[in-house]
């Protein structure tokens, strides 16, 4: 008998023995394990036998068959290939597999299937609508209390429980803006969607001080940064602000609709824009918080606005 056949028989015996040792004593074969267990074991037996038979057949075919036919003109290091026709059955199976894969992905599973995540998202959407309707008419004090609770969960990990920025790791929300943040914007420009659009503020190379008809200097940047951070109340830097900033932000720094944001105070509108679009600044990047509902946005806006000293 051929050695390959003997090896196949040995493999079958070994696999069936391993199957019996694995499940035979657990009720799977001849025990009280139930029909499902018996069918599972039967399936394993058939799989072992069929797989071994197929592998043996093709191993023997590789040992005994000789190639024939017309060689293609191309070869690689003397190794060529025959011009064999594509097997019709293989082509049908290949194309059928592609069609089945498209159906499976779009209609069978995963796009059209049930998922716990999809169910959760639908339930959250329904709950958010009810939540907004239930709390849309809160008074200012209740709104701030809700905002404080949301702040602890969503904002405190970076800004700290006291909203002090944890020693420079994030913005101190008790201040409208720091001089460092103002300077960073003046030096690098800004495109933070703080007006609900991507209209950018130019960097220093596009800031002209109309008082001197020259681009803004380092000394002027330092002066106006301190002036804005101080709430536009000092005298130093006021002339620079009037010449380089007031045209867009207004003489009082409260901004102009669709032109420039309010930089004089911590306004709820500004906070809402930061929550919606995130912000890039001197300390890094703050992500957008799109998971909050409309009412939760208003609550956080009200709470953070109440913290500002300037």
**CA 82, 88, 94, 100: dihedral to nearest 10 degrees?**
180
Whether 265 contacts 255, CB under 8 Å: no
According to DSSP, the β-strands at 284-286 and 279-281 are antiparallel
* Per-residue confidence (pLDDT) for residue 310, from 0 to 100: 52
Question: What's the distance, CA 291 to chain centroid?
Answer: 13
* Per-residue confidence (pLDDT) for residue 220, from 0 to 100: 93
* Per-residue confidence (pLDDT) for residue 86, from 0 to 100: 80
Question: Over 60: is that where the pLDDT of 141 sits?
Answer: yes
**Residue found under tokens 């596009």:** 206
CB atoms within 10 A of CB 185: 20
Q: Which range, 98-112, 186-200, 239-253, 277-291, has the best average confidence (pLDDT)?
A: 239-253
**Residue found under tokens 């300077």:** 183
The pTM for the full model equals 0.57
Distance CA 273, CA 192 (A): 9
Q: In which band, very low, low, confident or very high, does the pLDDT at 152 lie, cut at 50, 70 and 90?
A: very high
Secondary structure of residue 79 in the 3-state scheme: strand
Question: Over 70: is that where the pLDDT of 193 sits?
Answer: no
Q: What average pLDDT score do residues 79-98 get?
A: 86
Q: In which band, very low, low, confident or very high, does the pLDDT at 285 lie, cut at 50, 70 and 90?
A: confident
Distance CA 166, CA 267 (A): 22
Secondary structure of residue 68 in the 3-state scheme: coil
* Per-residue confidence (pLDDT) for residue 308, from 0 to 100: 74
Distance CA 2, CA 156 (A): 76
Distance CA 11, CA 192 (A): 67
294-307 and 116-135 are packed helices; what angle lies between their axes, rounded to 10 degrees? 60
pLDDT, averaged across the chain: 84
Distance CA 211, CA 156 (A): 43
């Amino acid at each position: 008998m051929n050695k390959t056949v003997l090896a196949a028989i040995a493999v079958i015996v070994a696999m069936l023995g391993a199957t019996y040792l694995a499940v035979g004593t657990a009720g799977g074969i001849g025990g009280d394990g139930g029909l499902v267990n018996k069918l599972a074991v039967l399936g394993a037996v058939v799989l072992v036998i069929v797989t071994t038979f197929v592998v043996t057949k093709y191993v023997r075919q590789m040992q005994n068959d000789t190639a024939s036919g017309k060689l293609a003109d191309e070869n690689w290091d003397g190794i060529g290939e025959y011009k064999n026709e594509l097997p019709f059955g293989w082509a049908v199976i290949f194309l059928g597999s592609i069609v089945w894969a498209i159906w499976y992905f779009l209609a069978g599973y995963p796009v059209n299937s049930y998922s716990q995540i999809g169910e959760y998202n639908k339930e959250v959407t329904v709950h958010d609508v009810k939540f907004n309707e239930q709390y849309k008419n809160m008074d200012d004090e209740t709104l701030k209390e809700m905002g404080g609770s949301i702040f602890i969960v969503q904002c405190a990990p970076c800004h700290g429980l006291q909203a002090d920025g944890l020693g420079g790791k994030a913005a101190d929300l008790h201040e409208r803006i720091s001089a460092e943040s103002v300077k960073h914007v003046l030096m690098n420009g800004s495109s933070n969607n703080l007006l609900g659009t991507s209209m950018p503020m130019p960097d220093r190379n596009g800031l002209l001080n109309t008082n001197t008809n020259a681009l803004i200097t380092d000394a002027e940047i330092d002066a106006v940064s301190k002036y804005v951070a101080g709430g536009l109340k000092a005298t130093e830097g006021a002339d620079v602000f009037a010449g380089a900033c007031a045209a867009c932000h207004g003489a009082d720094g409260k901004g102009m609709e669709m032109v420039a944001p309010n930089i004089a105070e911590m306004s709820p509108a500004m906070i809402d824009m930061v929550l919606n679009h995130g912000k890039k600044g001197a300390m890094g990047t703050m992500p957008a918080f799109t998971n909050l509902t409309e009412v939760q946005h208003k609550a956080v806006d009200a709470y953070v606005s109440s913290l500002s000293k300037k």
